Amino acid sequence: MNKNRMNLRLFENDVNIIDRSGAESLIPVQESNEIIQGVIAQSAVLSRGRKLPNMTSKQYKMPVLDMLPIAYFVNGDSGQKKTTKQAWDKKFIIAEEIAVIVPIPESVLDYSDYDIWGEVKPRVTEAFGTKIDGAALFGVDKPSTWRDDIVTTATKAGSVVTLGSADPLYDKIMAEEGVLDKVEKCGYLVNGHMADVSMRAKLRGLKNANGDPLFKSDMQGSTQYALDGSPMKFPINGAWDKSKARMVSGDFSQLVCSIRQDITFKLFTEGVVQNTDGTIAYNLMQNDMVALRAVMRLGWEIPNPINALKTDKNKRCPFAVLKAGAVLKTGE
């Protein structure tokens, strides 16, 4: 089995496949683009990152500035102009396959007035979004060819702020040596934030010395979640691991992604669908079911070019992480 393939369900004994034409009544071809847009919307990483043109091969080579040119003053009218060097590094986006399998009872298919596609489509998009976010943010089940996840990258660069139980949240985010400051010292300006949904309550509860709310002026109007003018996103697709990060802030133009293949579909009438622990969830023939498999390929990278404020690429990161300082209790 390909270890680089991210399956939400393992599928074996792929026999007696109905060809693509047999699935067209269930899956209109024009729906593929809508699914791609749905995956982008469901994935916090894809929705906040910068999308590059679609890949035409498995690898996408991306030149990244690695050495800055130096300018000189010319001494007088006859002064000699000096030369300087500029260099580029190469980074590669590797497209890997991600798949999801949706079992459908044949009895459901028998109801011609039942909107099968309307039921399946949101589950496919959510499953893809969850898997992409888990791999890119926290390294969960990531393919071996993919780079370190965002949290690991920030940790290696020293761009992590620990929030202790007695620490003021405001200072840990906004003040010197706070999350935003970590990004700025690396030569980037924060343009977005991702956070665990529990951060919403923490921000709403922030108060000044007089007990006045800092984040929310009243209890009736909707709260505009933003920090220092940059929008916040709270992924609720199940991918966020608050034991590793409460919040990630950074320059999300430095999170780039590219899609290698639009989503393709196949229907299976025989075989078994396994749970992630290897136990059999469904035997398609015995349970009178069909299984819809959706597959796409994509990759991502953090270019992180050199800049004047931080020339050491090992200590330079366009993202910073706010993490809890103690082991979280259930419900925290």
Across 62-71, 95-104, 132-141, 282-291, least confident range: 62-71
Residue type, 310: K
Average the pLDDT over 196-201 and give the result. Answer: 95
Phi, psi of 197, rounded to the nearest 5 degrees: -60, -25
Strand order in the sheet with 226-227: 160-163, 319-324, 247-250, 192-195, 230-233, 226-227
Q: What pairing do the DSSP bridges indicate for beta strands 50-51 and 256-268?
A: parallel
Q: What is the pLDDT of residues 81-104, one digit of tens each?
A: 555 555 556 777 889 999 888 888
CB atoms within 10 A of CB 204: 15
31's enclosing H/E stretch is: helix 31-42
> Can you give the pTM of this predicted structure?
0.78
Residue 15 has pLDDT above 60, yes or no: no
Residue 5 has pLDDT above 60, yes or no: no
Ordered structural domains, the chain, with CATH: 6-69+86-324 (3.30.2400.10)
Q: What is the DSSP letter of 240?
A: -
Two tokens at 173? 């985010």
Cβ-in-10-Å burial (0-12, 13-18, 19+) of 250 comes to buried
Q: What is the pLDDT of residues 151-191, one digit of tens each?
A: 999 999 999 999 998 999 999 999 999 999 999 999 999 99
